Amino acid sequence: MSSSIGRVLIVAGSDSGGGAGIQADIKTVTALGGFAMTAVTAITVQNTLGVTGVHGVPLDIVAAQIESVVTDLGVDAVKTGMLGTAATVEVVAQALARFAPDTPRIVDPVMVAKGGHPLLEPDAVVAVVAHMIPGAALVTPNAPEAERLTGLPVANLDGQRAAAERLVELGARAALVKGGHLDGDILRDVLVTADGRTLVVEGPRIATRATHGTGCTYASAIAAFVARGADLETAIRSAHAYLAEAIRRAPGLGAGHGPLAHGWPFADGGR
């Protein structure tokens, strides 16, 4: 049974600074009219200047959170973020296969924090390719992540498209390779689907240091729209517009890479 409110289960790490991770995901889903639920995989010590500590949640607790949420509240979309270790990847994949096998999964392969701290162990990259990409409704890597997942160079639009095609070959139903890490005044995200469709979503680069949590926010916004019944292309376009406005309205907090204005739809009636 689906829910018109759009129930999103977020499986990811916690960000004590509130700009990324579970906190950004909850804010995003809520701002877009959905109902956010969580399975926390790790607790991080971080702020806008970077990550200084990571404490993984016990694997049985990660799996139990997923079971508890899905069997009672139900779920319309799953968004995965920071998983951290190969063991966590495998446990999450197993739990989702058991309790939410037909629920669309938006997989954000979080590998490195904005400040450069690694958030995915090297052997976990192999686990993501083996266990999270196959069957995913959408995989949303940035250019460096796409390079690590596929082994292909991603330096331009052609590289983005090739990497997205490779991720689909690896079993994803669709792949969105983001262009925020590439040069240029116009940023382009390239979607490739298993049925051969290609979509390029573009927008101007916004001159700002408020870029903390953009990947988490983008993927969660897509999940929120999918959970409420939007088709994938509509969800991506809508999420892209939401993200751009959240960046433009960023509150200017912190001394490093600042957080976004996730709640902007509530401000002045969303004007």
CATH code for the domain in which residue 17 is found: 3.40.1190.20
Residue 119's pLDDT is: 75
The answer to the question of residue 61 being in a domain is yes
Which parts of 194-239 are beta strand (E)? 198-204
Q: Is the pLDDT of residue 2 over 90?
A: no
- Give the predicted TM-score (pTM) of the model: 0.96
Indicate whether 262 belongs to any domain.
no
pLDDT at 20 over 90: yes
How much is the pLDDT for 1? Answer: 40
Domain membership of residue 264 (yes or no) is no
Q: Quick one: pLDDT band at residue 268, thresholds 50, 70, 90?
A: low
Residue 263 lies in a domain: no
Residue 265 lies in a domain: no
Which pLDDT band, with edges at 50, 70 and 90, does 79 fall under?
Answer: very high
The percent of residues above 70 in pLDDT, for the chain, comes to 95
The residue ranking higher by pLDDT, 117 or 135, is 135
Task: Tell me the two tokens of residue 114.
Answer: 């904005």
Give the residue numbers marked as catalytic: 178, 211, 213-216
| 267 within a domain of the structure (yes/no) | no
Q: Write b or e for each residue in 43-72: b if 16 or more Cβ atoms lie within 10 A of its Cβ, otherwise e.
A: bbebbbebbeebebbebeebbebbeebbee
In a domain, 217, yes or no: yes
Mean of the per-residue pLDDT values of the chain: 94
54 occurs within a structural domain: yes
Q: How does strand 77-80 pair with strand 7-15?
A: parallel
The sheet carrying 77-80 orders its strands as: 50-56, 35-47, 7-15, 77-80, 105-107, 138-139, 174-177, 186-193, 198-204
State how many domains the chain has: 1
Q: Which residue in the block uniquely carries the two structure tokens 């701002």?
A: 31
**Structure tokens of 110?**
């979080």
Tokens linked to 250: 């960023």
The per-residue pLDDT for 112 is: 74
- Is residue 151 packed enough to be buried (19+ CB in 10 Å), middle (13-18) or exposed (0-12)? exposed
- The candidate with the shortest Cα–Cα distance to 262, out of 64, 66, 27, is 27
pLDDT above 50 for 75: yes
Residue 88 to residues 43, 84, 121, 252: CA-CA distances in angstroms? 13, 7, 11, 34
- Quote the domain boundaries for residue 237: 7-257
Q: What is the DSSP letter of 234?
A: H
